[in-house]
């Protein structure tokens, strides 16, 4: 009974994480289209959320990697998964509050690893899996996106460079509708699967489904797809501003190149099961498209802040998760600990949003 | 063996995304070029050149769309 209560809390928390993932990553998907005026913010966000939903049904390889690749199965309990999720959500909200586009995916995996270490020690971590399926792809993928976007924009400028800029911009704005759509689809494909992997992991730990074969139930696929789509629809405007204009001021051809490079890297990674950070990849694409045109066009200081947030994500989410695991265990192995943490987290969230609304409200005019 | 598999997957991600990203971008740029030149030629009264550039634009668009659909089918099929 106690296990089932924790499972319900874990599934709810995982879907909440998926929602914050979509909310946080809306910027990655729509910022370039909006900043180059290829589409209006409202329609970009609406289309992105629909394509996020559709993308979640394309592949399940990333879910299997998240479920089996990083933490050994004997270390997984529903409380470990719960603590990992809360650690990831906490880090996501902090970086959202500060307007930093850090990686939700790395927060999730960092959280899982941190809580598994807190529960079972360092033996619980599959170091080889972490290195070969997470850390190396995390370094390589943004560099590939950077190179692909850079080469693409150089080629594009070579092909259309002597034509009148007005019609060229209109042409690439049309192209951005397709590349932005593809990016949204690829985002759903890679990111929604991470939540599917975590929920499936919790179901296995609870004995609800067999561990053999790692099968993701249909209801998990549909609910994860819905949560990420809803989160994307709600949007994260603070980060959209950072991604869309603060790294570089883009023209439509650069937006097209950055989105196209980002989408192809994420789709290629999904096909081999790498849980990439869409934030890393699209930032790499944007920087590549900017640097190829003019190296100094990229605001490297902002790019540096983003890199700092990336580097901090795995350990920070891990530490948060380890602390949450410790707090949960103060109340024993039952459902009380996760319940107390969930209530505390809801209260913290309410406070955070109240403060955000207060900050956003216009100051009263002087009489 | 595991390391070899990991390296092969990484290599596959590297070359397929680089080729697809650059390829689609180049082909779509050709489509934009064709469409604009076709419009210029039509205005200049050069019907034959306008048709040729329009064909380039159509071929570029079709190839871009085909590459995207092929990529998605590959990802869905292998997963």
Question: Which residues in chain B have Cβ-Cβ distances shorter than 8 Å to A136?
Answer: 6, 10
B68 part of contact set with chain A, CB < 8 Å: yes
**Which among B33, B39, B78 is the nearest to A160, CB-wise?**
B33
- The string of pLDDT tens digits covering residues A292-341 is 877 776 777 767 777 787 788 989 999 999 999 999 888 887 888 888 88
What pLDDT is stored for residue A362 in this prediction? 59
Which residue of B4, B9, B21 is the best one to mutate when testing the A interface, meaning the one whose CB has the most A CBs within 10 A?
B21
ipTM value: 0.90
Residue A72 neighbours by CB distance under 10 Å = 14
| Distance between CA atoms of residues A259 and A28, nearest Å | 9
Contact A180, A33 (CB under 8 A): yes
- CB within 8 Å: B75 and A58: yes
Compare all CA atoms of chain A with the CA of B33 and give the residue at the minimum distance.
Answer: A160
What pLDDT is stored for residue A257 in this prediction? 94
Spans in chain A with pLDDT lower than 70? 1-2, 101, 235-248, 297, 302, 360-367
| Distance between CA atoms of residues B51 and B57, nearest Å | 10
B59 part of contact set with chain A, CB < 8 Å: no
Contact A224, A188 (CB under 8 A): no
pLDDT tens for chain B, 79 residues long, are 566 666 788 888 888 899 999 999 999 999 999 999 999 999 999 999 999 999 999 999 999 999 888 888 877 775 5
The set of residues, in sequence order, having a beta carbon less than 8 Å from that of A267 and lying 6+ positions away, is: A182, A186, A189, B17, B71, B72, B75
Reported pTM: 0.84
The set of residues, in sequence order, having a beta carbon less than 8 Å from that of A219 and lying 6+ positions away, is: none
| Distance between CA atoms of residues A298 and A332, nearest Å | 51
Give SS3 for A71: strand
| Distance between CA atoms of residues A22 and A225, nearest Å | 10
Nearest to A24 by CA among A300, A255, A282: A282
H helix count then E strand count, chain B: 2, 0
| Distance between CA atoms of residues A60 and A216, nearest Å | 8
Question: Which residues in chain B have Cβ-Cβ distances shorter than 8 Å to A128?
Answer: 2
Cα–Cα separations (whole angstroms), residue A185 to A82, A221, B13: 28, 15, 18
User: Can you say how many angstroms the Cα of residue A344 is from the centroid of all Cα atoms in its chain?
Assistant: 24
Alpha helix positions (H), chain A: 2-35, 41-55, 61-68, 78-98, 104-120, 127-130, 136-160, 165-205, 218-234, 237-241, 252-272, 278-293, 300-330, 336-360
Classify residue A122 by its DSSP letter.
G
What pLDDT is stored for residue A61 in this prediction? 85
Query: In which residue are the tokens 């099968």 written?
Result: A215
**Which among A145, A156, A268 is the nearest to B25, CB-wise?**
A156
| Distance between CA atoms of residues A24 and A88, nearest Å | 12
């Amino acid at each position: 009974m106690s296990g089932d209560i924790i499972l319900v809390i874990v599934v709810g928390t995982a879907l909440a994480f998926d929602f914050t993932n979509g909310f946080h990553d809306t910027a990655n998907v729509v910022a370039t289209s909006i900043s180059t005026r290829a589409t209006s913010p409202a329609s970009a966000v609406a289309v992105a959320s629909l394509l996020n939903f559709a993308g979640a049904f394309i592949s399940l390889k990333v879910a299997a990697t998240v479920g089996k690749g990083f933490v050994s199965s004997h270390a997984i309990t529903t409380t470990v998964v719960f603590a990992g999720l809360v650690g990831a959500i906490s880090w996501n909200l902090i970086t959202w509050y500060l307007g930093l586009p850090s990686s939700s995916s790395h927060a999730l995996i960092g959280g899982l690893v941190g809580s598994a270490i807190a529960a079972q020690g360092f033996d619980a971590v599959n170091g080889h899996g972490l290195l070969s399926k997470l850390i190396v792809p995390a370094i390589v993928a943004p560099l590939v996106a950077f190179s692909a976007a850079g080469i693409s924009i150089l080629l594009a400028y070579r092909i259309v460079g002597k034509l009148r800029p007005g019609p060229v911009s209109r042409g690439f704005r049309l192209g951005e509708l397709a590349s932005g759509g593809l990016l949204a689809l690829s985002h759903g494909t890679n990111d929604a699967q991470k939540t599917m992997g975590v929920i499936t992991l919790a179901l296995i730990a609870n004995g609800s489904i067999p561990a053999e074969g790692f099968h993701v139930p249909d209801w998990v696929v549909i609910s994860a797809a819905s949560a990420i789509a809803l989160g994307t629809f709600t949007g994260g405007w603070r980060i959209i501003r950072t991604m869309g204009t603060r790294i570089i001021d883009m023209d439509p051809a650069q937006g097209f190149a950055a989105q196209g490079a980002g989408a192809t890297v994420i789709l290629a990674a999904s096909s081999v099961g790498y849980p990439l950070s869409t934030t890393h990849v699209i930032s790499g694409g944007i920087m590549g498209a900017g640097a190829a045109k003019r190296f100094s066009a990229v605001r490297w200081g902002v790019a540096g802040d983003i890199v700092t947030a990336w580097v901090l994500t795995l350990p920070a989410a891990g530490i948060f998760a380890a602390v949450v695991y410790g707090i949960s265990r103060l109340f024993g192995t039952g459902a009380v600990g996760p319940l107390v943490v969930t209530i505390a987290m809801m209260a913290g969230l309410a406070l955070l949003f109240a403060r955000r609304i207060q900050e956003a409200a216009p100051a009263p005019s002087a009489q | 063996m595991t390391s070899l598999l990991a390296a092969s997957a990484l290599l596959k991600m590297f070359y397929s995304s680089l080729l697809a990203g650059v390829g689609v971008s180049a082909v779509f740029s050709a489509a934009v070029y064709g469409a604009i030149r076709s419009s210029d030629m039509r205005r200049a009264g050069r019907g034959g050149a306008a048709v040729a550039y329009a064909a380039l634009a159509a071929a570029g668009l079709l190839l871009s769309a085909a590459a995207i659909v092929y990529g998605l089918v590959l990802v869905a099929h292998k997963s």
